[in-house]
């Protein structure tokens, strides 16, 4: 008995019996639970606390010409005007006024130069750093980075994905060869139909599915059930130990731990003052950004939020083949307060230096305006944005030609961008993981060059 217990503790740090101790104590006993308390203390205010990343994913490919790389002097420029920002010389769209005031923490990278103009493949490229290739399942960015930054002992999962719009490129949202242990906890329901672009039903969308006990089952009955399950697991784990059995146990423990943890209150947005909630914006994206802050605060190292559309927009999110300018204005009205408030909020709480906020989509849009007043897919010269911690804010990087058609200097490829993101988070981008085909694969491609000029 003793020796078996020791073996289990060596392998997982938490014995199978602990699952039971945890459940038997229930919610009331939470604060007395020894190891759980220790974990909670470990994540908060740890001076060695690792950094975190929040990815603002712009589904559909946002127009650089109408956000961060305006060309008012050229006919490609369109009607949207640039405004001054907190940083002299760096101008952005008039529809991002709040963000303009935070520009000292922001770096637009205006010289993105990629090759994929197809939603499926480009989304995969930007979110994994690689093009789909044969049998290799490349992990999505959140899985890659949370693998580096996270801890198995967190009360909450290391990677939370808010309202992902996976329809166009499902593989770009998966943990790939890192395995399901690194899969995101998805908030907003599993189906693309559940979170519709423009839906204002964000309260429900931001809940974790199946987190609550089924109707009619109280805590006592839940504990009884877990006790029965525990006996079955003891038997199976003893007769057939291995990675499969231990992953089953680990994930059940993590799920129960989350169900009963204090940290799960991260999802209770009602705790926030109304004024702050208003300031983020009363929509799914705005409240998603607030949720991201609450998760990072509780030790979650990677959170992504997708902006999939706004009400009244005639296209899916940033895929503005028609009526580009009206759509961009509406999207900006959602984006601007959410992002600016997020930076402000992180700063107030002393978390800005350790939290990198990345803004990107799968590609940019054509500088030329089509006859539907729209802009089409354009990977040749476009913009992504880094903000918050780990970078030298208050500058822009790279430049495009006067017509916006080409990159004038310092072209940035996808691996370069992701290597920069890694470095800003204190991660070595040349680190290798073993892939599903047995070949080691670097976090970013061998040819990646981090943008040293904008790194702290």
Partner 1 sequence: MKSNSVRRLASACLCFGLLLGTALVRPVAASEPVADDVQKLADAIDKLIADQWKENSVSPAAPADDSEFFRRVSLDVTGKIPPAADAMDFLESLSPDKRRQVVDRLLEDPGYITHFTTFWRNVMMPEVNADFQVRFLVPSFDSWLRKQLTENTQYDALVKEILTTPLDSGQNNRRNPYQRLGEASPLAFFQAKQIAPENLASATSRIFLGIRIECAQCHDHPFDTWKQEHFWSLAAFYGGIERQGNQGIFGRVRELSDRRELNIPDTETVVQAGYLDGTEPQWRFRVGARTTLAGWVTSPENPYFARTAVNRMWGHFFGVGIVDPVDDFTAGNPPSHPELLDLLAKEFAVHNFDLKFLIRAITASRTYQLTSRKTDERTDDPQLFARMAVKGLSGEQIYDSVAQATGSYRPYNARNPFSFGGNDPRGEFLETFANNTDATTARQTTILQALAMMNGQLVANATNLSQSRSLAAVAEFPGLTTAERIENLYFLTLSRKPRPEEIERLVKYVERGGEKSDPKKSLGDVFWALLNSSEFMFNH
6 versus 221: smaller Cβ distance to partner 1: 221
Question: 303: part of which helix (H) or strand (E)?
Answer: strand 302-307
Distance of CA 452 to the CA centre of its chain: 23
Considering beta carbons, is residue 176 or 379 the nearer one to partner 1?
176
In DSSP terms, 455 is beta-bridged to: 391
Measured distance CA(85)–CA(89) in Å, rounded: 8
Distance CA 306, CA 163 (A): 6
- Rounded Cα distance between 211 and 209, Å, is 5
Is 292 in a helix, a strand, or coil? helix
Nearer of residues 31 and 221 to partner 1, judged by Cβ: 221
Rounded to the nearest whole angstrom, what is the least distance from the CB of residue 32 to partner 1 in the complex? 24
- Which tokens hold the place of 224? 């009884």
Which residues, listed in sequence order, are joined to residue 302 by a DSSP beta bridge?
53, 159
Task: Select 118 or 403, whichever has its Cβ closest to partner 1.
Answer: 118
Identify which of residues 201 and 401 has a Cβ nearer to partner 1 in the complex.
201
Q: Which is nearer to partner 1, 184 or 394 (CB)?
A: 184
Which pair of structure tokens corresponds to residue 342? 């997020």
**Considering the complex, what minimum distance in angstroms separates the CB of residue 154 from partner 1?**
11
CB 390 within 8 A of CB 452: no
Nearer Cβ to partner 1 (191/312)? 191
CB of 422 to partner 1, least distance (A): 22
Whole-number minimum distance, CB 426 to partner 1, in Å? 26
Structure tokens of 205? 């969308």
Q: How far is the CB of 381 from partner 1 (least distance, A)?
A: 22
What H or E segment, with its residue span, contains residue 234? helix 219-239
Comparing CA positions, the residue from 151, 212, 143 lying closest to residue 183 is 143
DSSP secondary-structure letter at 321?
S
* 235: Cβ contacts below 8 Å, ≥ 6 apart: none
CB of 184 to partner 1, least distance (A): 9
Who contacts 35 (Cβ-Cβ below 8 Å, separation ≥6)?
14, 18
Residue 17's contacts (CB-CB under 8 Å, 6 or more residues apart) are 5, 230
DSSP annotation of 261 reads -
Return the number of the residue (48 or 240) whose C-beta is nearest partner 1. 240
How far apart CA 397 and CA 110 sit, in angstroms, is 6
C-beta closer to partner 1: residue 234 or 399: 234
For residue 133, the 8-state DSSP code is: B
Q: Please say which residue, 32 or 239, places its beta carbon nearer to partner 1.
A: 239
Strands 159-162 and 355-360: unpaired
Closest approach, Cβ 20 to partner 1, in A, equals 13
Closest approach, Cβ 194 to partner 1, in A, equals: 6
Q: Which residues pair with 93 in a beta bridge?
A: 82
Please state the closest distance from residue 312 (CB atom) to partner 1, in A.
24
Q: How far is the CB of 166 from partner 1 (least distance, A)?
A: 9
The nearer residue to partner 1, 1 or 232, going by C-beta atoms, is 232
Q: Cα separation of 90 and 394, whole Å? A: 8
Burial class (CB in 10 A: 0-12, 13-18, 19+), 208: buried
> CA angle 101-104-109, nearest 5°?
105
CB of 36 to partner 1, least distance (A): 16
């Amino acid at each position: 008995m003793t020796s078996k217990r020791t073996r289990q503790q060596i392998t997982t740090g938490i014995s199978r019996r602990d699952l039971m101790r945890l459940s038997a104590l229930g919610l009331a006993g939470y604060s007395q639970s020894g190891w759980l308390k220790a974990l909670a203390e470990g994540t908060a205010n740890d001076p060695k606390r690792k950094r975190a990343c929040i990815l603002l994913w712009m589904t559909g490919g946002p127009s650089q010409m109408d956000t961060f790389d305006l060309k008012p002097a050229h006919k490609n420029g369109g009607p949207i005007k640039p405004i001054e920002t907190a940083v002299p010389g760096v101008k952005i769209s008039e529809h991002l006024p709040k963000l303009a005031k935070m520009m000292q923490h922001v770096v637009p990278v205006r010289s993105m130069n990629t090759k994929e103009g197809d939603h499926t493949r480009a989304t995969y490229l930007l979110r994994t750093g690689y093009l789909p290739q044969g049998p290799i399942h490349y992990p999505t960015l959140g899985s890659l980075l949370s693998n580096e930054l996270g801890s198995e002992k967190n009360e909450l999962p290391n990677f939370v994905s808010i309202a992902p719009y996976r329809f166009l490129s499902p593989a770009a949202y998966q943990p790939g060869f890192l395995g399901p242990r690194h899969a995101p906890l998805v908030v907003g329901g599993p189906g693309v139909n559940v979170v519709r672009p423009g839906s204002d039903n964000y309260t429900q969308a931001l809940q974790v599915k199946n987190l609550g006990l089924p109707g009619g089952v109280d805590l006592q009955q839940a504990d009884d059930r877990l006790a029965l399950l525990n006996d079955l697991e003891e038997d199976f784990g003893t007769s057939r130990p291995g990675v499969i059995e231990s992953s089953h146990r680990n994930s059940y423990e993590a799920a129960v731990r989350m169900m009963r943890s204090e940290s799960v209150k991260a999802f209770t947005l009602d705790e926030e003052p109304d004024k702050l909630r208003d300031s983020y914006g009363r929509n799914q994206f705005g409240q998603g950004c607030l949720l991201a802050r609450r998760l990072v605060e509780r030790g979650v190292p990677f959170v992504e939020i997708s902006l999939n559309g706004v009400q009244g927009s005639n296209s899916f999110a940033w895929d503005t083949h028609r009526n580009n300018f009206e759509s961009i204005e509406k999207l900006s009205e959602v984006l601007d307060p959410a992002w600016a408030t997020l930076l402000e909020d992180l700063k107030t709480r002393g978390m800005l230096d350790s939290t990198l906020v990345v803004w990107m989509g799968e590609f940019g849009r054509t500088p030329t305006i089509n006859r539907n007043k729209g802009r089409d897919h354009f990977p040749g010269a476009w913009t992504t944005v880094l903000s918050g911690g780990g970078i030298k804010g208050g500058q822009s990087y790279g430049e495009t030609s006067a017509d916006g058609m080409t990159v004038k200097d310092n072209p940035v490829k996808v691996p370069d961008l992701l290597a920069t993101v890694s470095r800003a988070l204190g991660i070595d981008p040349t680190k290798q993981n073993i892939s599903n085909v047995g070949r080691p694969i670097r976090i970013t491609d061998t040819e990646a060059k981090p943008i040293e000029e904008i790194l702290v």
